[in-house]
Amino acid sequence: MAAIREFNNADVAESAPSMRQALEEDGIFVVRDALSRDEVGKLREVIRGHLAEGGLRHSLGKTQPNAAENVPDLAFIFAHPQILKVIRQVLGESNAVFTGHCDIHMNMLSGWHKDSGETVPGGYFSGPYMTAPDCRVYKVAIYLQDTGQRDGFTARLGSHRDTDLSVGEQVTAQTRIGDIVVFDVRITHTGQLPDPVEKGFKAISRALNKGLRDREDAEWITRAKARYWRLIGRRDRLSVFFTYGAPNTFTYDFAEANMSRQARQGAVTGSTGLPTELREALEKEGVSLVDASPK
């Protein structure tokens, strides 16, 4: 049985060729113990605190698009030395670009999809991006609790080369606190899938929103799903996703299209750009920035 390739944080430099091979062949790998428990605890505090009062209601949970700007206290994670060390190993020492993209999630449900924009108006890329060797846009996913077969990040190996969502062997990254998942945005993947009761909630929400993906769930549906989770003893599930890429058109197109997606979700109203603290931290680490604006 196939599995997602894993690397130890202490061996990242020596593992660079193998990590690049994993992205080329599988589209994904895991790095164990990239973050300390204290750092994950800080992330949990920041994300839970923000989404308890703010964010948007989507997929029966809460999310905050454009979180790199809207949640300034997250700045430390985008310039985290160990994460950037991993990114540099796969992109090259002077080739890391932070796209500005970040979404934080709490208790959201998912379905099989890609993050390369096939279901988004206008898409994220132009040209033959599925086969282009220069399309090197990679997300970092951090789950802020241990995950298992039911609630872990699940992907189809090698599916970053095919638009068919059924292609590739299905595998789950059963991550522990402190691990990170690095994946090609073109890979087919899912988070926690809905159970039969949650499918009913989602169907009602889609009907109320007339199938429009960018509309928020009704507040009563979000509350009903939260009560259901408490009833069955399901714990809160928090995660953060953010994106780097190589310094080329694919990365810049992704950044601009993501800003447009976030604008449709109402997450860039009154935008003033990335926080100064974050800009300075990334520049200190030698990471370039994309100053994207909505199309």
Q: Cα separations (Å) of 48 from 8, 45, 123, 142, 212? A: 28, 5, 31, 14, 27
Q: For residue 240, what pLDDT is reported?
A: 98
CA-derived radius of gyration, the chain: 18
Closest CA to 197 of 160, 227, 170: 227
Residue 119 is predicted with a pLDDT of 74
- pLDDT, position 266: 59
Give the residue ranges of the chain where pLDDT is below 70. 1, 121-122, 261-272, 291-295
DSSP-assigned states of every residue in 117-183: STTSTT-S--SSTTT-TT--EEEEEEESS---TTTSEEEETTGGG-S-TT-S-EEEE---TT-EEEE
Per-residue model confidence as pLDDT tens digits over 123-179: 788 888 999 999 999 999 999 999 998 899 999 999 999 999 999 999 999 999 999
N- to C-terminal Cα separation, the chain: 44
Residue ranges per structural domain of the chain: 6-289
* Percent of the chain whose pLDDT exceeds 70: 93
At residue 295, the pLDDT reads 46
Say how many C-beta atoms besides its own lie within 10 A of residue 218's C-beta.
14
Q: Which CATH number fits domain 6-289: 3.40.50.11260, 2.60.120.620, 2.60.120.480, 2.40.50.100?
A: 2.60.120.620
